[in-house]
Amino acid sequence: MRLLLADDDPISALLLRQRLEGWSYDVTQVDNGRDALRELQAPDAPRLAILDWEMPGLNGLDVIQHLRNTPNAQERYVYTLLLTSRNQEADTVKGLDAGADDFLTKPYRPAELQARLRVGQRFLQLQNNLLAAQEELRRQAFQDPLTRLPNRRTVLKRLREDLSRCRRDNQPLGLLMLDLDRFKNINDTYGHSAGDAVLQEASIRMQHALRSYDMVGRFGGEEFMVVLPNADAAGTISVAERICSSVRASPLLQSGGPIPFTCSIGAALSAPGMIIPERELINAADAALYHSKNSGRDQVTAAWRLAAA
């Protein structure tokens, strides 16, 4: 594990470094507080630090206080052990109150120092596990676990945000509702694991057909929603047809044989000057989707063309 050692006494620092390297630590050594702070605030900084209390520039307490006041300090926490010749209870309290995680007086016993460093490593591992768990929970809250696409909640939120912005800027917005054709037949014929593979592959192909600022999300089952900000009628149909073409491009190769699959799409449009509630826009795209499926599947239907018919 990487470790920062900050001590302005060259002899004691050399002896301590040799001991730490003998314990398999990768040691970065500095002899003043300013250099220590710079090293600990670097993007790839060590997460474990031994700081001498008395140093030129900034002392050990100063370094710790700067670290604790750094924005997002908890996301990349540095476990600090304050090393000092001070041995009064008030000094211990002062050091811990400043944000030090541990406190060791000189002359230290090597076995005790090694044990305290192991405590620091366990603390950092537990924090890494906690942050990883928090990130996983955050990901699960916004992402569909199978396709890795934004989930229903996330894509609906994006629709509300983009719809509000496009209205404010007098820009159009296209909405697509998409359904994989005869998906139940795929599950019944090839099995649910093959159906999952089709969902995953279709999700990848959809994303490849989008512009960089569009969003596709899994709406539920084999149904997807695509939000197309700043897309007029022609642009919305163009993206929809590109998705259809991408999805049908080639069968998915599985052990049970190649699985062809296609999709049907319904398109709706919020044009400049129009105030269409979010639910009505979704319903219009849904109605167009059902028309696509009832008209032979593997095609795009525009809601505005149905309304004009």
**Is residue 248 classed exposed, middle or buried when 0-12, 13-18 and 19+ CB atoms within 10 A define those classes?**
middle
Catalytic residue (choose from 54, 112, 136, 222): 222
Measured CA to CA, the distance from residue 281 to residue 303 in angstroms comes to: 9
CA 71/CA 75 separation, integer angstroms? 9
Q: What sign has the CA pseudo-torsion 140, 145, 149, 155? A: negative
| 3-state secondary structure at position 214 | coil
Measure the CA–CA gap between 167 and 258, rounded to whole angstroms: 45
Six-digit token string for 51: 């700081």
Contacts of 254 (CB under 8 A, 6+ apart): 190, 194, 197
CA distance 120 to 109: 17
Looking up tokens 């209390």, which residue turns up?
53
Q: Catalytic annotation on 222?
A: yes
What are the tokens at 284? Answer: 């219009």
**Cβ neighbours for 103, distance < 8 A, ≥ 6 positions apart:** 81, 82, 84, 92, 95, 96
- One DSSP character per residue, 59-128 reads -HHHHHHHHHTSTTTTTT--EEEEEES---HHHHHHHHHTT-SEEEESSPPHHHHHHHHHHHHHHHHHHH
Give the count of alpha carbons within 13 A of 174, CB side only. Answer: 28
Please provide residue 263's backbone torsions phi and psi, each rounded to the nearest 5 degrees.
-140, 155
Which residues are catalytically annotated?
Answer: 222
